[in-house]
Structure 1
Amino acid sequence: MTANSYVYIMLSDTGTMFTNVIKKYTKAPYNHASLSFDPELKEMYSFGRKNPKNPLYGGFVKEDIFTGTYSRYKGTTCVIYKLEVTEREIVKMKRVLDVFIRNGDKFLYNLLGVIGVSLKEPVEFSNSYFCSQFVAEVLNRSGIKLWDKLPALVTPEDFRKSDRLHLTYEGKLFEFEPIKRQLSE
């Protein structure tokens, strides 16, 4: 019998003007999705700001809680879920992720795709994603189907509603015990 394996999906709200505009429309508490392979969230991946000071310059990002965008928004709230997966699914996800890592500068943020979600019309471009589309795409390409919809229509709220995800934490990001521990090291 093999030990359980998990991936972690963090949904967050930094409270920025951009996220507040999104929240007014979606009425959802979180508007950003990230994927991690470790429970301490030391390595997280998503599509978002490449420069924490510039919300308009986006693309594929390896997120760092202590030096990236989150470091500028200490009041960030989040919810962290774990998804039980097989070792084989993790290998597949890391293979998919490796393509994003190796070609990171070729990927753009799919702002039109965000608008498409609101119209319930998928807007897809090659090498262009928004955060929840990216997480759903990595899962989907690895054989993990959480919904009967295209990744280009998946929102952070869809993750909250998935019965396959198990809540591990909800609250302030910088009050999450593994983050607090890392801060004190």
Structure 2
Amino acid sequence: MEKQVYILLTNTNSFLTKLIKLYTKKPYNHASIAFDTHLAEVYSFGRKTARNPFIGGFVKENVREGLFKQAECALYSITVTERQFQKMKYCLQQIEAQKRQYRYNFLGLFGVMFDKPIKRNDAFFCSQFVAFLLKESMVIQFQKPISLISPHDLQCVPNVQCVYEGKLKDYQNEIQTRTQPARLQIVI
């Protein structure tokens, strides 16, 4: 049985995002992975507190609040087998169970800038983490080291399909409207 996994790319327009965007010239500079169309289960490596971008690590993101409220996004789906899906969830659970030992890979960002892989144990940046899950579950075999994978690279992966692009809150409103049962209006 096939399942869908979602790659969520965002632009929150935070100060740090604007700095990264100056270098990348790409519209989206943060990557997350989601396991449902409602984006209730979204995971990444990013800031642990909204006020400090330099304290980062493994996070379960609530894309309905904080910096995500005004975010632009591109949402991609990729079809995986049940086995790949379970492997991905298993890898995620292993990281989540040991999340205190994981750090944000700030040094790895410089590796991307200079096209020099910097692999650090127990450390990821956002797109490196998403690429790691996809690689470990044998969904995608990347042509370059995952420590060099940028959010833009995830858009270019074969077999990903763009589901939505625009304001993240508009997507959430659209999904919520589609899944609410129709209200019956009784006229007497």
The one-letter code of the counterpart of 2:62 is: D
Match of 1:130 in 2: 125
Separation of aligned partners in 2, 1:54 and 1:137 = 25
- TM (norm. structure 1) is 0.91
The AA in structure 2 aligned to 1:165 is V
Q: Which runs of 5+ in 2 are unaligned?
A: 181-188
Q: Which moved more, 1:7-16 or 1:172-181?
A: 172-181
Q: What root-mean-square deviation, in Å, do the aligned CA atoms of Structure 1 and Structure 2 show?
A: 1.6
In our comparison, the structure showing a higher alpha carbon Rg is: 2
Cα 1:159–1:72, aligned 2, differ >3 Å: closer, same or farther? closer
Specify the alignment match of 2:186 in structure 1. none
* Residue of 80, 83, 87 corresponding to 1:85: 80
**Which runs of structure 2 are paired with 1:39-78 in the superposition (5 Å)?**
39-67=37-65, 71-78=66-73
Which residue is 1:8 aligned to? 6
Indicate the SS of the match to 2:133. Answer: helix
SS in 1 for 2:69: coil
1:162-177 alignment to 2 at 5 Å?
Answer: 162-177=157-172
Contact 1:40/1:179, CA 8 A, preserved across alignment: no
Give 1:148 deviation, angstroms. Answer: 0.9
Q: Is the 8 A contact 1:14 1:75 kept in 2?
A: yes
2:155 to 139, 160, 175: 160
Aligned counterpart, 1:32: 30
Q: How many residue pairs were aligned? A: 178
Deviation, structure 1 residue 180? 6.6
Tell me what 1:112 maps to.
Answer: 107
Q: What's the offset of the Cα at 1:149? A: 1.1
The DSSP-based 3-state class of the residue aligned with 2:70 is coil
Tell me the amino acid that sits aligned with residue 22 of structure 2. Answer: K
Distance (whole Å) between structure 2 residues aligned to residue 20 and residue 146 of structure 1: 30
CA deviation profile, 1:87-145 (whole Å, cap 9, x unmatched): 00001001100111101111100001011001111111100000000000011111122
Structure 1's 148 and 104: CA in aligned 2 closer, same or farther, altered over 3 A?
Answer: same
SS in 2 for 1:30: coil
Counterpart-to-counterpart distance in 2, 1:51 and 1:164: 34
How far apart, CA to CA, are the structure 2 residues paired with 1:143 and 1:108? 24
Shift of 1:66: 2.9
How far apart, CA to CA, are the structure 2 residues paired with 1:133 and 1:32? 11
Find the counterpart in structure 1 of residue 142 from structure 2: 147
What does the per-residue CA deviation read over 1:50-76, in whole Å, with 9 as the maximum and x for residues that have no partner? Answer: 011111100000111234xxx245321
Please give the alpha-carbon distance, in whole angstroms, between the structure 2 residues aligned to 1:133 and 1:61: 14
Q: What residue is the counterpart of 2:98 in the other structure?
A: 103
Partners of 1:162 and 1:59 in 2: CA distance = 25
Query: Equivalents in 1 of 2:89, 2:58: separation in Å?
Result: 15
